[in-house]
Every structure is written in structure tokens, then in C-alpha cells.
Amino acid sequence: MAFKIGLLGLGTVGTGTADILFNPDGRHPLLQNITISQVGVKSLEKKRNIDLPSEILTTDLEAIVTNPEIDIVVELIGGLEPARSLILKAIAHGKHVVTANKAVIARYGGEIFAAANEAKVYVLSEAAVGGGIPIVEPLKQSLGANRLENIIGIVNGTTNYILTEMTEKGSDFGQVLKVAQDLGYAEADPTADVEGYDAADKIAILASLAFGCLVKREDVYCEGITKITSSDINYAEKLGFVIKLLAIAHKVQSTTETQLQLRVHPTFVPTSHPLANVNGVNNAILVEGSPLGQVMFYGPGAGSGPTASAVVADIMNIVGVLNTDKTGDNLDSLLSCSPQGQGQISPIEEVFSRFYARFLCADVPGVIGHLGTAFGENNVSLESVVQIGFQGDLAEIVVVTHHVREGNFREAIAEIRSLNAIKNIPSIIRVL
């Protein structure tokens, strides 16, 4: 049986997807029976990097999602609207959907999966997290036997590329971001990348899958990389760390309740840690559960070809199931998504972390003692305090704490800010 695709979007990922589907030779035989019927874009005049029959291009995306000929709608336009409405309309018209849109799935996954289950269609989103790395389907299928507790990942290619270039070549933030945009890694509005919002979308999706409940996107604590300076990168190196933007989901199970800790922030990662060596556009996701232990997924997290590989894998998964179930009466329970209830989220103040903090202080006797007292009085125990040198006439002091409750650390910092000798606290970064 032949399957017809309606492709929404012919940008970085859409072009990569069309390129695979138009060139099936040497790939899985299922691809021989999949054709692109229509492609929806914003501009018909734009020069494309791929040769397509011009009659299949249209700006009428509604006509694609309602076209009775089309079996699978592949949404690669990005953004919240009209992407969400088009996905819902496609579902209402009985189409299966493949999407790379983490922003939509993280916010409207509950609504979309409920509609899909009702309409007995699949909505797959492997490309939404980790680009070309298989992580969404493994969480739904291969890891289902485990009780999952922890996910720690580098899930944004743009910021990992920027941090790697700043660390290895001392490159300027703005210039490297421009290169990441030119390479097709960044979101249409790169604020989503550099402020951590894209990584927050992705960890919300991973947590929903791993812990089987819906996670509210706004509950993910989020800090980006825009305040990271070359000084922090250099101090990290001196102390035996590299700085990475980590996305972390942790399930805390007590006898009475289950709470989730969800956060995205720049992190000092020890150079011996497996995530420390994940560089450039690569992503890696460490998943931990019982009885498996730890497993790490690694590979290209963004870019045309790798992301298209994940999109086409989703199309093939749907086609494979449709080839065996001709009636379509029952959804495959491993491929469909039915989150149970809403996850309870711990406030960031309750999370335990280590911290690195850099202080600029007047070079007066006793200042290190004052810092130590403020930390001690708030139950923040210190692993090291080092006076590194001077910036002008201000002494630069770097502190690394043991694992402490974030609320206590924040109270200590508030007290320290009010000390006369403390002139500035240029950086506070969590330590893995």
C-alpha cells in the first residue's frame, strides 16, 4: 500500500526530510511506498535547496491537513500557532501526525495526545528532542520495563555549539550564535535556545515520557547561557570542570508522595563526567532507572539531515504499524501516548545542588571570614574558598559549596550581598 505525506514546512528540517523521501534507494524498503503529495510553505517565491515539482508547493496549509488523499501530516513549520491548530485539524481529519515541534508538544501535548487517542491516530515526535538521537521512542518502548528516576541531558545543539567554541577557541558569543544560525541549528527566534527555553521544552517532554505523567512546561525552572563569561569558562577549567547547559529531570519518591524536580541551567560538569566530552552540536541524554542502571544516548542534536532522520523514522513507524493493522480500530499501545495525571513539581528552593559563586570584594581583612560566616549560618557548607586574584583593586574570590538546599544557598547569598565589602557577585553556577 502507498502512503501519502503532506509536508508542512520546507526549511532546514523539511528540506532534509523531503531529500530522504525523494531518494529512498539504499534505505529501508518501506520508504519505496511513501510519497510526498503536498508541501506547505509561507513563500512560493523563495529559492529552495531541493528540486520539487512546483505543483506540489502551496501556501494553503489548511488544504493539506484536510486533504482526504493524505495519510500522514508532517508538521515542520515550528512555533506555537498555526502549528498547534494545524496538528489538531489534521487529527480531526483522521491523519496521523509527525512533528519536530517541541514548543507545541511541551505545551499542548495533553490536548494533542487526547485528541489523537480519541481519533485513533498516532502523533509521533522523535525529532522534537535530541534531533537525530533516538530518545523519545526508546523512552516509550525500549526502556518501558524500568522505573525511571533521573534524566540528565545536553539537549540543545545551539548552546552546546556556542559553549564548545567559547571554551575551545575563546570565540565571541554573538559571532558563534550567528554561525549556529547559519548552520540551521538555532530556532527561528534564537532566544529560545540561548535562554534555555528550548531545552526546557525538551526536558518537559522527556519527563512526561519517563515518569508517565503530564508536566506543565511553566513548571520547569530555566536559566540560559547569556550571562556566561570567558572568566567563568576559565575558572571552570582551572577547577577541573567544563560549563554545559544541562536539562535535568529527577523523580523524588517518598512513602507519601512523588515529586518531580525539573530544571535547565548552565552547570559546571567535572571533566571526568561523560557529559563533559559532548561537544559542538552533539547532544547526550543520560537516563537512569531500575533495573537497567544508566544508559546514555549520544549524537547530533540539530541540523537538517540528523533531524530529518528522526522525522522519517517516525513516518516509517506509523507506516509499519498501518501495514499490519488494516482496520485501524486499535492504537499500538507502545507507539501511542497516554500520560496519566499531572506531575507534582518541587520548587527550585527544595532542590539540592553544589554551587560555584564568584565574588568581587574590597581587599580588606576578614572578608573571607564574613563570607564563611554567612554561608555557615545558613547551613551551606563549603568545599573550597579561593582568592584567585584581582580585578582592578577588587579581590576576586571563588567559592564551591557541598550539596546544599537551594533555598539555604539563596538566603546566604542575600545576606552576603548586603555586606559592605562585597561589591559584586558576577556569577553563580550550579555544579554537577
Ligand X SMILES: NC(=O)C1=CN([C@@H]2O[C@H](COP(=O)(O)OP(=O)(O)OC[C@H]3O[C@@H](n4cnc5c(N)ncnc54)[C@H](OP(=O)(O)O)[C@@H]3O)[C@@H](O)[C@H]2O)C=CC1
Active site residue 95: no
11 is in an annotated binding site: yes
DSSP for 351-419, please give it: -EEEEEEEEEEE--TTHHHHHHHHHHHTT--EEEEEEEEEETTEEEEEEEE-SEEHHHHHHHHHHHHTS
Distance of CA 80 to the CA centre of its chain: 16
Query: Strand, helix or coil at 75?
Result: strand
Q: Are 93 and 115 in contact (CB under 8 A)?
A: no
Judged by CB under 5 A, does residue 318 bind Na ion?
no
Instruction: Residue 152: count other Cβ atoms within 10 Å of its Cβ.
Output: 25
Where in 302-331 is the site for ligand LTNE7NMQ (CB under 6 A)?
302
In angstroms, what is the minimal distance from the CB of 156 to ligand LTNE7NMQ? 4
Where in 115-134 is the site for ligand LTNE7NMQ (CB under 6 A)?
131
Query: Strand, helix or coil at 223?
Result: coil
Residues in contact with ligand X, counted by CB under 6 A, come to a total of: 28
Q: Which does 156 bind (CB under 5 to 8 A by kind): Na ion, ligand X, ligand LTNE7NMQ, none?
A: ligand LTNE7NMQ
245 is in an annotated binding site: no
Judged by CB under 6 A, does residue 197 bind ligand LTNE7NMQ?
no
CB within 8 A of 255, min separation 6: which ones?
none
Judged by CB under 6 A, does residue 340 bind ligand X?
no
> Looking at 43, 256, 324, 340, which residue binds ligand X (CB under 6 A)?
43
Q: Which does 61 bind (CB under 5 to 8 A by kind): ligand X, Na ion, ligand LTNE7NMQ, none?
A: ligand X
Where in 96-125 is the site for ligand X (CB under 6 A)?
100-102
Where in 128-167 is the site for Na ion (CB under 5 A)?
130, 133, 135
Q: Which among 36-44, 269-277, 327-335, 384-392 is the span making contact with ligand X, rule CB under 6 A?
A: 36-44
CB within 8 A of 373, min separation 6: which ones?
none
Helical segments of 189-303, H only: 191-194, 197-211, 230-239
Strands 96-99 and 123-124: parallel
Using CB under 6 A as the criterion, which residues of the chain lie in contact with ligand LTNE7NMQ when the complex forms?
131, 156-158, 185-187, 193, 198, 301-302
Q: Annotated active-site positions, please? A: 202
